[in-house]
Amino acid sequence: MIKKMNVLVLMLLMTSLTLAQTFENGVKKFESKDYSSAEKSFLKLLVSEKNNSELYYYLGRIAFERNEFDDANKQFEKAIELNSNNSKYHM
């Protein structure tokens, strides 16, 4: 029983680490202006983290950089809806 729990905990930790690495990779891609790759990273994470305001924030920034202002606004509004206390979402 304990062995199964240890395996489960290990799997959860590995999944969390992979998600964190994917997010960090997306941010690096965004910062290097590789918006297509960054968007793919953030959309991949969004499948399992629908309530992650940072993902919507970065998707909004990508849309803004592409001059897709309506989409950017929607993404920023979603980020604020999920976390209205983060001042960087209020541009």
- 16-38 confidence digits (pLDDT tens): 545 677 899 999 999 999 999 99
Given 3-state DSSP classes, what are the helix, strand and coil percentages for the chain, each rounded to the nearest 5? 80, 0, 20
pTM: 0.79
For residue 62, which of 45, 47, 48, 41 has the smallest C-alpha distance? 41
Provide the residue type at 67 as one letter. N
pLDDT at 13: 44
pLDDT at 57: 97
- Low pLDDT (below 70) residues in the chain: 1-19, 91
pLDDT at 20: 74
> What's the CA gap between 14 and 82, in Å, rounded?
26
